[in-house]
Structures are given as C-alpha cells and as structure tokens.
Amino acid sequence: MAQIMAATLASRFHSSMLIAKSVIMAMVVPLMALTSVANAATFNTERAASHDHWQSMTLSLGGEQHYRAVETHSYSDATLSINATQGVCDLPWLEMRVTLEQQQGESRAVNLVPARLRIDEQPVTDTMAEFITERGDDGFYVHFYLSNLESLLADMRQGEQLFLGFDQEEREPWYMTFSLQGADAAITRMLAQCENKGAGDLTGK
C-alpha cells in the first residue's frame, strides 16, 4: 500500500509540474536554497548511522558540510528529513523529497500550496509548502514554511507518526504518513554533530 501511495504521489507531482508551468514562483527563501546542494548525489555521505526507521549522516564537499536526519522507511521513493548547515545549526529545516522518473532540466520553484502537518493526536499545524526541482536532480523537493520548527522537532522526538496533507485546488488533497520511530536519536545526533562540526561519532550508534 505504501508503494502504491508513493507511486501515485510521484505521478501527481509530475503532473502538477506541467500544470503549474505558467505560475512558477520566482522567490525562494535563501535558507531553503541550501537544501538542494546537500543531496547525496553531489555530496559525500559520511558518518552514517541507523536509528530504527531513521538515519543520521553528514554530507560534505570540500569545506562545506550539511547534517541530516532522514526517514527512508515509509516509502520506496519518498523521504522526510531534518537538515542543518554548518555555521547555522540553530536554523534547521524540514524537507520532503519524492523521486521522479527522470532528472530535471532546470532549477525552479514549481508551486506554492497550503499544507497541514500533524504528529499523532497533536493539533494540526497549518503552513505553506513550496515545490521545487533542481537541474540534474531526479528529486521533487517540498519545503515547508514553519514559524515554530523547534516545537515541531520536540513533538517529532516524542511522537510515533507524522501526517502531511497538501491542498491541490479542485483535486483531492495528497496525504503522506511518515514513521517517527528513531527520529529522536537521529535528530539528536544530527544536531550534535552540526554543533560540534561533525567531529567524531557522539552517540556510537
């Protein structure tokens, strides 16, 4: 069932890219622009560790380093991650990635839609989600505009599941569910390595 949902989402995301071609968003939050450069296809993956359904790792290229806690368990072609960048560890961001059928020919913001996040039975967080593609990358990235990510991270560390919903005008909303089993350990290790500039394995796991 999870594979079917992921395949359906990837197809709808690809369709949305074509439909939204005439309304591409020109403005991208500068911090969010950092996410695309920290992908495993370009950067070296170092100090990777498994934490149940999550993983934590360092992505590096030359003197540039990014730190990631990622859930790869729930879908075969979609991931949810918390990311931080060396030097601004206190400004992590939430990102979802869906693998498309082919590499994209240009970097662009495709669309901006209302989105909802909920952890277990916690209140729903209403936000906006920006859909982005990167030239030479087969990923479709979703960035979330969150005013209180610190509170969300605290709930993620204690929760069991994270639910996402994306409004699509006249279409039915898209829904995704990600496991939070291991999120606490993965996020803790990722942030600790960022704050310590990736020195050593601070948890041994």
Whether residue 202 is contained in a domain is answered as no
151 within some domain: yes
Give the residue-averaged pLDDT of 36-49: 69
Q: How many domains does the chain have?
A: 1
The CATH number given to whatever domain includes residue 10 is 2.60.40.1880
- Give the pair of three-digit tokens for residue 164: 């996402």
The answer as to whether 20 is a domain residue is yes
29, pLDDT greater than 90: no
Between residues 50 and 39, which one has the greater pLDDT?
Answer: 50
Report pLDDT digits (tens) over 112-126.
999 999 999 999 999
pLDDT tens, residue by residue, 87-113: 999 999 999 999 998 888 888 888 899
Amino acid 43: pLDDT: 78
Residue 203 lies in a domain: no
Mean pLDDT for all residues in the chain: 80
Using DSSP's 3-state secondary structure scheme, residue 18 falls into helix
User: Which tokens belong to 45?
Assistant: 């993956």
Domain interval for residue 94:
2-195
pTM of the model: 0.77
Is 105 domain-assigned? yes
pLDDT in tens, 10-26: 444 444 333 333 222 32
Going by the DSSP 8-state scheme, the letter that residue 123 receives in this structure is P
Cβ contacts of 45 within 8 Å, gap of 6 or more: 57, 58, 59
205, part of any domain: no
Cβ atoms of 51 and 185 within 8 Å: the answer is yes
Classify residue 146 by burial, with Cβ atoms within 10 Å: 0-12, 13-18, 19+.
Answer: middle
Q: Does residue 201 fall inside a structural domain? A: no
Any domain includes 200: no
Output the six-digit token pair for 144. Answer: 């979330």
User: With 50 as the cut, is the pLDDT of residue 203 above it?
Assistant: no
